[in-house]
């Protein structure tokens, strides 16, 4: 995960786009999210309330500051449109 975080931070520093990260295990999601505390990020996993889930999607789509989405493959693998 350390290599992924390093590459992700480098990419974010060199580019203006957004990035989506999928992971299966909550420990990996926690690690990634915790390593990106200085970067506005959304997270959707099985614990995310459906109403909050939609708010997070809109935040990722419309807020230029929110550049990273950390998503669970099981909770966000179907039924989400993340065009930004």
**For 2-20, what is each residue's pLDDT tens digit?**
898 999 999 999 999 999 9
Please tell me what DSSP assigns to residue 70.
E
What pTM value is reported for the model?
A: 0.86
Structure-model confidence comparison of residues 50 and 25, the more confident one:
25
pLDDT higher than threshold 70 for residue 79: no
CA–CA gap between residue 4 and residue 65 (Å, rounded): 21
Identify the bridge partners of residue 42 per DSSP, sorted by sequence position: 69
- For the segment 34-62, the average pLDDT, to the nearest whole number, is 92
Strand duo 68-72 + 41-44: pairing? parallel
Q: pLDDT grade, residue 32 (50/70/90)?
A: very high
């Amino acid at each position: 995960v350390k290599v992924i975080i390093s590459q992700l931070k480098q990419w974010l520093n060199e580019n203006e786009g957004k990035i989506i990260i999928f992971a299966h295990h909550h420990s990996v999601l926690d690690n990634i999210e915790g390593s990106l505390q200085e970067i506005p990020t959304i997270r959707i996993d099985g614990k995310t309330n459906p109403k909050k889930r939609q708010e997070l999607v809109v935040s990722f789509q419309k807020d230029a500051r929110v550049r990273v989405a950390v998503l669970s493959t099981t909770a966000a693998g179907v039924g989400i449109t993340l065009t930004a």
